[in-house]
Amino acid sequence: MNKKWQFYYTDIEKAKEIQKKFNLNELLSEIIANRNIGTDEDIRIFLNPTRKDFHNPFLFKDMDLAVDRIIKAINSNEKVTIYGDYDVDGITSTTVLKKFLEERKLNVSTYIPNRLDEGYGLNKKAIEYINENKSTLIITVDCGISAIEEIDYANTLGIETIVTDHHEAGEKLPNAIAVIDAKRKDNTYPFRGLAGVGVVFKLIQAISIKLNLDETEFLKYLDLVCIGTISDIVPLENENRVIAKLGLKLVEVTKNLGLRELLRTIGYRKIDSNAISYGIAPRINACGRMGHEEEALKLFLSNDENEVKQITNNLNEYNKLRQETEKNIYEEAIAKIEEEKLNNANTIVVAGDNWHHGVIGIVSSKVTEMYFKPSILLGIEGDIAKGSGRSIPGFDLHKALYECDELLEKYGGHEMAIGLSLKKDNIEKFKKKLEEIAENQKINEIQPIIYIDTQITLKDINKDVVKSLEVLEPFGEGNKMPLFVYRNLKIDSIRALTEGKHLKLTLKDTNYVINAIGFNMGYLADEYLIGDKIDVVGVLEINSYNGNEFIQINLKDIMKSI
């Protein structure tokens, strides 16, 4: 599908002002102006955040209630259970809170539900188990905001609950001692975008303030808070930017044995947001996806070097198994889509027998990326189909499921990503209903958009310019890598790599030549010839090979020059 190239509006006067005030080059100043970061102070925090730039944690509703209840538990030597989640955000949240509270001499247990058997969030059987183990207080991390019935049940057993979460709150809040979530309807906290581990960080900051602890007692966990924040794909702006920017510095020198060992094995020369997103996160998430969530938690909690080496080896094996399982499902799904011509519809719903529901969400993401259509993959187990879906900008998939409510057993999620289960007999009815909703919303008129910072020429590029862009890191949701347009470049060479998967070019503009790489764009090798003039959109990067550094364009789109 043809993509629409859309330039950010650049306020040239504002860019010049930023350039002068912050002593930046012209290109950087334009990019920051495009980002609409806000005031001069906001820009200062974006460029150079400090430990003084965290918001007051007591601006959260119920934070004082939570802190007082936890301090009471410490003083009374109560047994407390931290109830987490099986993804990176949940694992790091659980680790940080457990380590911090144990240093305050609190008796802390943990409970991470099994993704395959229990699913996400609190459940009654887990609460019964916690009750049998004599805990009098549950603190949820990265979950709990929608657990109305489960927390009511815990109350009947005499167990009190503190909820810390970052997911959307409903009209009714759970009947807990405290509910700390910036997405409450009555929220007073100045930033809504924290990950679950970010909310935990604010909790331990608040406890530290109340107990007059040195600020290093909570700041020392920024390495794990950074890992969870970047991995959860929350917007890297405002307080998340502070967490990520400061936290990455701690990640490089982390004292956490498990994290250090994992970093050693992933093979990334530079520890940045990419290393976390594509090196660390998949391995931690693979534990939960394959049903071994406790090992991820043990990795970060362990103080035994031999143990962390063994667990890291296990994580790498789980990740390989996840990749293999994902590849098999993807190939089977694509074959079904092409054979049944499902890609001719506005939405893609595809089902397979016993598809592993721990990985089908990743496959759905790839299907949606490939066809630019909302997709739902369903794994059929007996009479029930369980699945995951991903959407495209402009189509609220969660809202669409709400309109299909009578056909579903269970569903949840948000606009862009959902989970669901339904009876096998309802799959075709569901397909038809979802397709009607998409057609009514004219989804076929939605076009993918590439947002571009500015147009530059090859003569504008040198290593200093490219390296200056590093000040914009870490990149992620809410702070994408800057994209540039280069026009009228002549193809000097072109070939496909990796059995036709990727595209490799050299491009020329008068006397200037640059390398370009297009991942998953190998099919274009037959559409363009040496000598063709093209316009390209891409990211500027420095590639190191055999000890040499050279600039290349990481391509995002190509079209013939007009």
pLDDT tens readout for residues 310-360: 999 999 999 999 999 999 999 999 999 999 999 999 999 999 998 987 889
Q: What CATH number has the domain spanning 450-560?
A: 2.40.50.460
**Mapping DSSP to helix (H, G, I), strand (E, B) and coil, where does residue 82 land?**
strand
Measure CA 310 to chain center. 27
Q: What CATH number has the domain spanning 340-445?
A: 3.10.310.30
**Token pair for 197:** 């581990």
- Classify residue 183 as exposed, middle or buried by CB count within 10 Å of its CB (0-12, 13-18, 19+): middle
- Give mean pLDDT, residues 234-238: 91
| The CATH number, out of the four listed (3.30.70.1140, 3.90.1640.30, 3.40.710.10, 3.40.30.10), of the domain defined by the range 57-242 | 3.90.1640.30
pTM of the model: 0.90
- Give mean pLDDT, residues 519-526: 91
Where b means 16+ CB within 10 Å and e means fewer, 333-363 reads bbeebeeeebbebbbbbbbbeebbbbbbbbb
Q: Which residues pair with 108 in a beta bridge?
A: 80
The listed range with the strongest mean pLDDT (245-259, 289-303, 509-523) is 245-259
Residue spans of the domains in the chain: they are: 57-242, 254-322, 340-445, 450-560
pLDDT band at 516 (very low <50, low <70, confident <90, very high): very high
In the chain, the percentage of residues whose pLDDT exceeds 70 is 100
Question: What per-residue confidence (pLDDT) applies to 455?
Answer: 93
Q: Could you tell me if 55 and 189 are in contact, meaning their C-beta atoms sit under 8 angstroms apart?
A: yes
